[in-house]
Chain A
Amino acid sequence: MTFASFLLQLGNGLSSASALFLVAAGLTLIFGVTRIVNFAHGSLYMLGAYLAYAAGAWLASAGLGGISFWLGVLAAALAVGVIGALIEVLLLKRLYAAPELLQLTATFAVVLIVRDATLAAFGAEDLLGPRAPGLAGTVTIAGHAIPEYDLFLIVVGPVVLVALTFLVTRTRFGVLIRAASENRALTAALGIDEAKLFTAVFALGAFLAGLAGALQLPREPANLGMDLATVADAFVVTVVGGLGSIPGAFLAAVIIGMTKAMCIALGSQEILGISIAFPKITLVAEFAVMAIVLAVRPHGLLGTPPGAPVTTPLPEQRELVPAPGRREALVAGLVLAALLALPAVGAEYTAVLVTDILVAALFAASLQFLLGSGGMTSFGHAAYFGVGAYAAALAFKAGAPMAVAFALAPVGAFVAALLFGWFCVRLAGVYLAMLTLAFAQIVWSIVFQWDAVTGGSNGLVGIWPPEILAERKHFYLFTLAVVTLGLALLARIARSPFGFALRGVRDSPLRAGALGIDVRATQWRGFVIAGTFAGLAGGVYAFSKGSLSPEVLAIPRSVDALVMVLLGGLNALFGPLVGAAAFTWLADVLPRLTEYWRALLGALIVALVLVFPGGIGGLVARLTRRAA
């Protein structure tokens, strides 16, 4: 690599950084003010690209020539801004009083709906837009051709940064944004119409996402994978920069863009006799950067430690998983009896489906313990599920009998949670959640790349239980036994002295510390317990499917578990079971009803979230309490 090409790679890194910054800026703005973890940000970005394609093509056919592309970009960004406002007004506005993670569930539903709507409207084929008129060529620098559009993007990033900084620091709107970011309640008390402010901010964030997607069109065809490919990156940039900090997002985007460009530029290098293929690191570069940054700066590069706790616990969150009274014991007994009777009366497939539900329930319950009792949000809980599953599978493939292999599942997850938990409990709120995500992605990329041991992206096959459990209904009974035991243990721990200490730490770390509770150690222990039970669920999963691939520890599984917990109710005793049953059953039934089952699932989740903000399980609990 010559010095000239090194400089060129820096330029490439900068233009990628600009693109990253544009999409992250909107996200950080939205989070800073509304505290909404907007999973649908990638979907808004994707819509921007599709709408810019359609608008540009339509305007071009109307004979507008070169300007049609640029008008199309603007129109698309504005349209996405309007869509964002609609999402906020129709959906999110109704959820500000609910536990804040419920908004995450709602935006997850939006992802599902937007994806199907885009497929229905634009078809399945990738849509390659035109090159940007006026910037379609290249400039030659030092004998290298540089696309004009890359240079344009390098400029756009800082321009948007300056414009947003001006907006936030120099205008009345900006003052209001900052005020609401710092103290929502006080801002409202001063007579500021919070509702309008939130809508405006969400629309502005959506506009930026739409703009980012539209500006990507000359570099990438509009395609249905853009949403998920983008949203994780946008979150990483936001968090590395410091939540709510726009200059921080820019800095983070530059660091990540540069890191990736340099990894590719370096190629394969011999270092101390070991050959390292740097381009392969791009698979996980942004998450590695995030893990390092958060380990050193718990609030991101330019983030400030929040004065008040990031979360304002609501009554639902402050609750403890209720003590099982006579009524609950009766319900549990009836459910268990029904589940025990199932193999005798149910069809074979019902046993398969309920096995999946039970595994999901145990996994969700372990997350509920972390989230509900521990007050720690995890976006990467699948890591422990997956490590457990892989530990069992690898031992089994190495010749261990199933009993031994299975026992290794919680052990493997325990070790992973012990290691990662030590780092994670040093953080709080969304930063903690994102660090769990970073670790999960790092584990995922190791499993994904380590062909010789984990089977790489293909995974492992042939993990079938021995003869006696091979029969579907027999395996179901085995699962039922393990999951019942697991759920009972988790509920027991939640109400043990340790559970109370954990809850104390969650609600008031200061007071708990003053009482002599070691705050971090308690949280760490809580984290490890949650991870271990997730691993147990993973062990059952491995033997129920007969095969494993890195997908078991990927982001969607973590998100699914979050959705199950929130659907079921954050602190409802039967919440995980109800949430897992509802989610898994719907995902099984809906695809048989309609081609657009994702949209339907999304719509149902929206309905559930709006009707039962405390989760389905929470509603059941309320009803039974009222009856009692």
Chain B
Amino acid sequence: MSVLRFAALAFALAVLPAGAQTIKLGELNSYKVFPSFLEPYKNGMTLALDEINAAGGVLGRKLEIVIRDDNGTPGDAVRVAEELLSREKVTMLMGTFASNVGLAVADLARQRKVPFLASEPLTDKIVWDNGNKYTYRLRASTFMQTAMLVPEAAKLGKKRWVIIYPNYEYGQSATAAFKKQLNAMQSGGLEFIEIAVPLGKIDPGPVVQAALDAKPDAIFSSLFGPDLARFVREGQLRGLFKDRVVFNLLGGEPEYLDPLKDEAPVGWYVTGYPWDSIATPEHKKFKDAYMARFNDYPRLGSVVGYSAVVAAAAAIRKAGSTDPEKIVAALSGLSFTSPFGPVTFRPIDHQSTMGAYVGRTAVKDGKGTMVDWKYADGKDYQPEDSVVRSMRPPER
């Protein structure tokens, strides 16, 4: 071997460490802005990663997740995504929490022509109005989760509704979707009184009083987090919930239900995740592994983080390559098994069919939980295909 060749080989060995053999997923999220959701999310990712690598990885290579904090702003998210792409050479992007961040990264994915799996953002726009070829979304959207609650609401035949929502896109979309769908299912005479509150800054006294003054038959809320806790406590004190049906989107998610402890509302209709009572084999396997690994029970974030990594790995496996275009093609119609059961990414709008659990809240052993729940499969809560096609821009 000539000196030159030897040098070239040595150089290649030095420059291409063993890491070059791994397949990298670039995960960005607002870890420090929404820690109560995203710490369990990170655990979920870790669990999935270890399981996949223990089973031999993907395409014979180990999977690696490179994690970045997007600081909760689209500007920073675009920068760290660029870093993941150009410096870390990740195969695909995944993650994001807030809708504005998710949409910004989705548009970057389109610009840079790389696959992006939006794991958590709920905005309908990411798959519809602003949908693009490179972006797929895992979680059940605002529209879907609202659609899961509406049939229950329509059955009750209540006429006068107070709607309380956080004043930004998620709350606005949930409110609009609820009104539209309920009007479609329940004939006539419906009245809606809306109270918009600033996100994270609800003034519960006046809000509950205004809701009482409206003398509603029923309440639809899309509050979550500290806003929900304050609303629940104030509403219970002032008797707002006595003899009134209440619907609360996301209200059954452990992230938001558990802090309420024994003051969790009873009998509310919610979407959520009854981790303690789901008995399917997929979920049992996930829950046992999670609890053994982290000595803590899974939250919804854990399921989303876990499923996102499983989905990404499945896409790369199906593509048989790390080529971005092939992965994007593979994601279309891809099926994989999540802790909630089988899930498919719809070719028509890139939305996954991952569902949510719909049930009623209860208090058991001094803790909030969900009872009388059923799994609402995401595939059953979609608009007509023609409607979806009319909303989604032409493939680009």
- Whether B111 pairs with A464 at a CB distance below 8 angstroms is yes
Q: Which of A124, A147, A448, A591 contacts B35 (CB 8 A)?
A: A124
Q: What residues on A are CB-neighbors of B31 within 8 Å?
A: 595
Contact status B107-A547, CB under 8 Å: yes
- Closest residue of chain A to B35 (Cβ to Cβ) is A124
Q: Is the CB of B196 closer than 8 A to any CB of chain A?
A: yes
Segment among A262-270, A334-342, A573-581 that sits at the interface with chain B: A262-270
List residues 287-338 of chain B with CB under 8 A from any CB of chain A: none
In the complex with contacts A1-B213, A451-B172, A591-B68, A267-B237 CB distance below 8 A: no
A459 with B74: CB separation less than 8 A:
yes
Kindly specify which of A346-354, A419-427, A501-509 makes contact with the partner chain: A346-354
In the bound complex, do residue A144 and residue B238 qualify as a contact, i.e. CB atoms below 8 Å apart?
yes
Write out the residue numbers on chain A whose beta carbons fall within 8 Å of the beta carbon of B229.
126, 128, 220-221
Stretch at the interface among B203-211, B276-284, B349-357, B377-385: B203-211
Asked if B169 contacts A16 (CB within 8 A), the reply is no
Whether a CB of chain B sits under 8 angstroms from the CB of A545 is yes
Chain A CB within 10 Å, residue with most, of B32, B39, B78, B204: B32
Q: Is the CB of A545 within 8 A of B78?
A: yes
Interface of B is mostly: helix
- Let me know if A9 is at the binding interface, CB within 8 A: yes
**Known contacts A220-B230, A224-B35; A13 and B107 CB within 8 A of each other:** no
Tell me if A282 and B169 are in contact (CB < 8 A).
Answer: no
Partner of A546, one of B76, B86, B107, B123: B107
Chain B residue with the shortest CB-CB distance to A347: B87
Q: A541-B75, A546-B108, A588-B79 are in contact. Are A261 and B203 (CB under 8 A)?
A: yes
Question: Contact at B86–A352, with CB atoms within 8 Å?
Answer: yes
- A12's partner among B108, B201, B206 (CB-CB below 8 A) is B206
| B86–A145 CB distance below 8 A | no
Q: Which of A1-60 contact B (CB under 8 A)?
A: 1-2, 5, 8-9, 12-13, 15-16
Chain A residues with CB under 8 Å of B260's CB are 128
Interface residue from B74, B103, B203 paired with A282 (Cβ < 8 Å): B203
A13 and B210 CA atoms in complex are apart in Å by 12
B245 within 8 A of A: no
Q: Which residue of A lies closest to B87 (CB)?
A: A349
Which B residues touch A93, using CB under 8 A?
A: none
Interface presence of B263 (CB below 8 A): yes
Least Cβ–Cβ distance between B6 and chain A, in angstroms: 28
**B234:A147 contact, CB within 8 angstroms:** yes
B206 contacts which of A16, A352, A451, A592 (Cβ < 8 Å)? A16
> Is A414 among interface residues, defined by CB-CB distance under 8 A?
no
Pick from A5, A127, A588: contact of B259, CB under 8 Å: A127
Give 1 or 0 for each of B130-143: 1 = CB within 8 Å of chain A CB. Answer: 10000000000000
Looking at the assembled complex, report how far the CB atom of B219 sits from the nearest CB atom of chain A, in whole angstroms: 15
| B167 in contact with A5 (CB, 8 Å) | no
> Could you tell me the distance in whole angstroms from the C-beta of A363 to the nearest C-beta in chain B?
12
Select one of A144, A265, A279, A549 contacting B104, CB under 8 A.
A549
CA–CA, A547 and B237, complex, Å: 44
* Cβ B111 vs Cβ A470 within 8 A: yes
Q: Cβ of B371 < 8 Å from any Cβ of A?
A: no
Number of interface residues of A (CB under 8 A): 80
- Inter-chain CA distance A522–B213, complex, in Å, is 53
Whether the pair A16, B205 counts as a contact (CB closer than 8 A) is yes
- Return A291 CB to nearest CB of chain B, in Å: 17
Q: How far is the CB of A260 from chain B (nearest CB, A)?
A: 6
Within 8 Å of chain B (Cβ to Cβ): is A174? no
> How far apart are B297's CB and chain A's nearest CB, in angstroms?
12
Within 8 A of A (CB), among B1-55: 31-32, 35-36, 38-39
* A5 / chain B contacts, CB cutoff of 8 Å: 209, 212-213
Instruction: Tell me the complex Cα distance, A16–B106, Å.
Output: 41
Which one of B38, B226, B263 contacts A220 once the chains associate, using CB atoms below 8 Å?
B226
Contact B237 A356 (CB under 8 A): no
Query: Quick one: which of B74, B103, B225, B234 has the most chain A CB within 10 A?
Result: B74
A279 to B255, CA, bound (A): 27
Per-position 1/0 for A426-438, Cβ under 8 A of B: 0000000000000
Complex Cα distance, B239 from A146, in Å, reads: 10
A457 sits at the interface (CB 8 A): yes
Known A13-B206, A225-B226: A548·B74 in contact at CB below 8 Å:
yes
Answer yes or no: B180 CB below 8 A from chain A CBs.
no
Say yes or no: A145 contacts B87, CB within 8 Å. no
Give the chain B neighbours of A8 by CB distance below 8 A.
209
Interface positions of A from 224 to 282, Cβ below 8 Å from B: 224-226, 229, 260-261, 264-265, 267-268, 277, 279-280, 282
Residue of A nearest to B238 (CB): A145
Q: With A and B bound together, what is the CA distance between A125 and B259 in angstroms?
A: 7
- Name the A residues within 8 Å of B123 (CB-CB): 458
CB within 8 Å of A: which B180-227 residues: 193-198, 200-201, 203-207, 209-210, 212-214, 225-226
Among the listed A279, A449, A587, which residue makes an inter-chain contact with B194, where contact means beta carbons less than 8 Å apart? Answer: A279
Q: Which of A223, A541, A592 lies in contact with B225, CB distance below 8 A?
A: A223
* Cα–Cα, bound, A186→B325 (Å): 74
Partner of A147, one of B87, B194, B195, B238: B238
* Contact of A267 with B214 at beta-carbon distance under 8 Å, contacts A15-B205, A220-B229 already known: yes
Kindly list chain A residues whose C-beta atoms are within 8 Å of the C-beta of B206. Answer: 9, 12-13, 16, 260-261, 264-265
Q: How far is the CB of B29 from chain A (nearest CB, A)?
A: 11
Interface string of B145-176 (1 = CB under 8 A from A): 00000000000000000000001110010000
8 sampled A-B residue pairs with Cβ under 8 A: A116-B32, A125-B259, A224-B35, A260-B206, A277-B194, A349-B86, A461-B104, A464-B107
The 7 closest A-B pairs by CB, nearest first: A124-B35, A12-B205, A549-B100, A547-B104, A457-B168, A461-B107, A348-B86
What 4 additional pairs, Cβ within 8 angstroms, besides A267-B193, A587-B71? A16-B205, A146-B238, A221-B230, A264-B203
Chain B positions within 8 Å of A, measured between CB atoms, are 31-32, 35-36, 38-39, 68-69, 71, 73-76, 78-79, 82-83, 86-87, 99-100, 103-104, 106-108, 111, 123, 125, 130, 167-169, 172, 193-198, 200-201, 203-207, 209-210, 212-214, 225-226, 229-230, 233-234, 237-239, 255, 258-261, 263
